[in-house]
Amino acid sequence: MSSIVQNGELVLRDIARPVPEELFGSEELSQMLRDMDTALDAEADGVALAAPQIGIPYRIFIARMDRTLSPREERKADPELLPKRELVVFINPEIIRSSQKRIEMDEGCLSVRGLYGKTRRHNRATVRARAEDGSTFERGGGGIVAQIYQHEIDHLNGILFIDHAKDLVEVNHE
C-alpha cells in the first residue's frame, strides 16, 4: 500500500506533470488510481487525494464524493441509508470557472497532519478533467466540493494549504 507523504517531501512542492496520452486506458494508470484509492480509503477523515501525496508526479486527483455528505442521525442508525461510495477521478484537471464570492473555510490536509487553519476559497468552482479512459468531462460544485477542487489542484501546482491559511492550530491525532 502507498503511504501518504508528509510536508517536507519534495514531491509535494513540485509542479505535477500532465498525464501523457499513452497512459490513458493503460494498466499503469489503473494501478496508480488503485494505489491512490487504497491510500485515501485508509484515511477515514480524508475526502480527496492528489497523486503527489503518494509520490506520483502526475496531474491526478481523486475525490470521495460520498464523504462530502454529513451523515444525518437517521442515516447513522441505518447503514442502508448511508450514501453509496462515489469515487471520482480527475486527470489533468483545470478550473474553468469560479465564483467571485470567496468564503472562509476550515481546512486540513492528509499531508500536513495535525495542522488546521482557515482559508479563503471560491464558493463555487467548475473543473474540466479527463477520466481514466481519456474522455473529457466537467463537474461543478459549491462549498466543500469547490474547496476540494481548489485544494487538490493547488497540490498539483506544489502549493499546500498552509501556504495561505491563517489561524493555524495544531491538533494531536493520537
What CATH number has the domain bearing residue 105? 3.90.45.10
Residue 2 belongs to some domain of the structure: no
Catalytic choice (9, 73, 74, 152):
152
Residue 58 belongs to some domain of the structure: yes
Please answer whether residues 48 and 61 qualify as being in contact, where contact means their C-beta atoms are separated by less than 8 angstroms. yes
Write the Ramachandran bin of 92: left for phi over 0, alpha for psi from -120 to 50, otherwise beta: left
Look-up: residue for cell 482557515? 118
Domain that includes residue 157, residue range? 10-170
Tally of domains within the chain:
1
Q: What does pTM read for this prediction?
A: 0.91
Report the distance separating Cα 72 and Cα 82, nearest Å: 9
**pLDDT of res. 93:** 98
**pLDDT of res. 81:** 66
**pLDDT of res. 99:** 97
Provide the H-helix boundaries in 10-143. Answer: 27-41, 73-77
Residue 162 belongs to some domain of the structure: yes
Using CB atoms within 10 Å of the CB of residue 155, give its burial: 0 to 12 exposed, 13 to 18 middle, 19+ buried: buried
Please answer whether residues 69 and 29 qualify as being in contact, where contact means their C-beta atoms are separated by less than 8 angstroms. no
Provide the H-helix boundaries in 12-102. Answer: 27-41, 73-77
Dihedral sign, Cα of residue 112, residue 116, residue 121, residue 124: positive
Residue 18 belongs to some domain of the structure: yes
Residue 16 belongs to some domain of the structure: yes
Active site residue 9: no
Look-up: residue for cell 505535477? 16
Residue 98 belongs to some domain of the structure: yes
pLDDT in tens, the chain (174 residues): 579 999 999 999 999 999 999 999 999 999 999 999 999 999 988 999 999 999 999 999 999 999 988 665 555 556 666 678 899 999 999 999 999 999 999 999 999 999 999 999 999 999 999 999 999 999 999 999 999 999 999 999 999 999 999 999 998 765
**pLDDT of res. 5:** 96
